[in-house]
Structure 1
């Protein structure tokens, strides 16, 4: 969502994406207190098990992961990094890729490197001949299970007021395969932006992810306490806004018209996806 003003004397805007795995599915719900952890045990006969049994055990380690994609710019870098630091940071490479050849072979059937990105030319600074920032596909992702969580400005703008949806930074062939897409509630800025701007932002995300059955709006504890939310819920302000705007137009397809927008605690996101896998 772009602001309606700009200052030509501002520093040239530089935008980029950063990724962070905030949940790897391997927490197991164990205590975070080291003193209360059960003693580690070693099973030395694993290699002697039949291959089909070993593969079933490896499969158990393929759990839903949450990959955060943050849109960062040089004006708000500190703020965004603070938001990211409040969330867990897990290893970016799935553990099965590092155990042995057998586990890696299995993992490569599920995970792939993806999410190459590029800043649209309209947000580049043509007078300085600066090429748009871009990144290679370096994020391990399982399109069947993993979720992409969007953080940062959802429609970033440059110093001239030009904007572009963050969802368009990704390749369409990647976003079209996403089955689980989520957006941080704090980035909608309901008290700052007009309803039509919020609808436009949601539209770009949903339209870019046709394989997703629902858009998940994740909330933090601060969001829940401030708005007295009972989660998860479809009876939320974002879903109501979406339906209100769609009722005024006939230029939508069935998937857009029936899209569910579910508000859910960010801490419950992985378990929700695992339940609905």
Structure 2
């Protein structure tokens, strides 16, 4: 039997209705994929953002949309990485994002300096639309592994210090143990953050990038990254100066998570901060129905 419609919603107090609209704002993983726009005249590096369908709360009614627009912003989904004049016009395509709960997941990155340039452009309201309110960003462990410091060479990780100074709203930098097909998934809205699989006796824990060795390596590099800066350079100096100038600044932190394909609306976070993501939810299986013997029709016995 179909559920009955609730016709008294408009009679609820406005505070309760707004609370319901806010509960409908579920966290999403926004895929950010670096690519090249190629024409006969020019080649331009862009980031393409994809998050799936428009959040439902934005098109239920006038009241829900008004409340949702207090949290969601319209950001460009095809934005040039570098700020330079090209023969390729900027794309008008955009998506809705709620950076209080949504995570920007960069499945690949260009040169780190160019990545910082893109983040500055995206965070400007007149250009990218994000208005410097990005809180959760993520990178696959395989990308971070390729950026590991090489003896005798300047570390590329110091750019993270510049990143959080440019975007002090960042709370979490997620190290994604990603062995999924999310990078090329047609429907990214079906993916969500989750706890990493437990490590087995053989040291494995969900594919190549979920092993104990990878997790230990990432933890060693990032556990005290912001609380105990190591090395020298302009980025670290800028970070220390900003920290001294803003003593109440809550330092961002790194966290190791996974991304999995889950049923729609079965989000691991349920709107909670990513450091409080519970274990994977187990849904109860429907019980098998049995025939009632008292009402079942009895077949006549066959003659002997």
Q: Same fold (TM over 0.5)?
A: yes
2:178 maps to 220
- The 3 A distance-change label for structure 1 pair 101 and 242 is same
Bigger Cα displacement from structure 2, 229-238 vs 66-75: 229-238
Report the Cα distance in structure 1 between the residues aligned to 2:164 and 2:253, rounded to whole angstroms.
Answer: 10
| 2:143 is the counterpart of 1:187 | yes
Is this contact kept in 2: 1:147–1:180, CA < 8 A? yes
**C-alpha displacement at 1:74, in angstroms?**
5.6
Bigger Cα displacement from structure 2, 227-236 vs 62-71: 227-236
Larger Rg: 2
Report the Cα distance in structure 2 between the residues aligned to 1:144 and 1:119, rounded to whole angstroms.
Answer: 24
Report the Cα distance in structure 1 between the residues aligned to 2:32 and 2:167, rounded to whole angstroms.
Answer: 15
Instruction: Tell me the secondary structure at the aligned position of residue 67 of structure 1.
Output: strand
- The 3 A distance-change label for structure 1 pair 89 and 148 is closer
Residue of 104, 122, 129 corresponding to 1:170: 122
- The 3 A distance-change label for structure 1 pair 232 and 99 is farther
| 2:257 is the counterpart of 1:264 | yes
Report the Cα distance in structure 2 between the residues aligned to 1:210 and 1:69, rounded to whole angstroms.
Answer: 20
- The 3 A distance-change label for structure 1 pair 55 and 245 is closer
| 2:166 is the counterpart of 1:208 | yes
| Structure 2 unaligned spans of 5+ | 39-48, 181-204, 262-266, 275-304
1:236 maps to 219
Greater share of residues in helix:
1
Structure of higher RCO (CA pairs closer than 8 Å, 6+ residues apart): 1
Residue of 20, 43, 46 corresponding to 1:57: 20
- The 3 A distance-change label for structure 1 pair 138 and 74 is closer
- The 3 A distance-change label for structure 1 pair 71 and 156 is farther
Instruction: Tell me the secondary structure at the aligned position of residue 22 of structure 2.
Output: helix
- The 3 A distance-change label for structure 1 pair 142 and 258 is closer
Report the Cα distance in structure 1 between the residues aligned to 2:147 and 2:104, rounded to whole angstroms.
Answer: 25
Is this contact kept in 1: 2:58–2:64, CA < 8 A? yes
Structure-to-structure mapping, 1:1-277, within 5 angstroms: 41-47=3-9, 49-52=11-14, 53-73=16-36, 90-91=52-53, 93-115=54-76, 117-121=79-83, 130-131=86-87, 134-136=90-92, 138-155=94-111, 165=116, 166-172=118-124, 174=130, 176-190=132-146, 194=150, 196-221=154-179, 224-227=206-209, 228-229=211-212, 236-239=219-222, 242=225, 246-249=229-232, 251=237, 252-253=239-240, 254=243, 258-267=251-260, 271-272=268-269, 274-276=271-273
Is this contact kept in 1: 2:173–2:254, CA < 8 A? yes
- The 3 A distance-change label for structure 1 pair 273 and 104 is closer
**C-alpha displacement at 1:65, in angstroms?**
2.3
CA offsets per residue over residues 230-257 of structure 1, 9 Å max, x none? 9999961440594699322362323899
Bigger Cα displacement from structure 2, 55-64 vs 148-157: 148-157
Q: TM-score, normalised by structure 2?
A: 0.54
| Structure 1 unaligned spans of 5+ | 1-38, 76-83, 125-129, 158-162
Q: How many residues align?
A: 217
**C-alpha displacement at 1:146, in angstroms?**
2.1
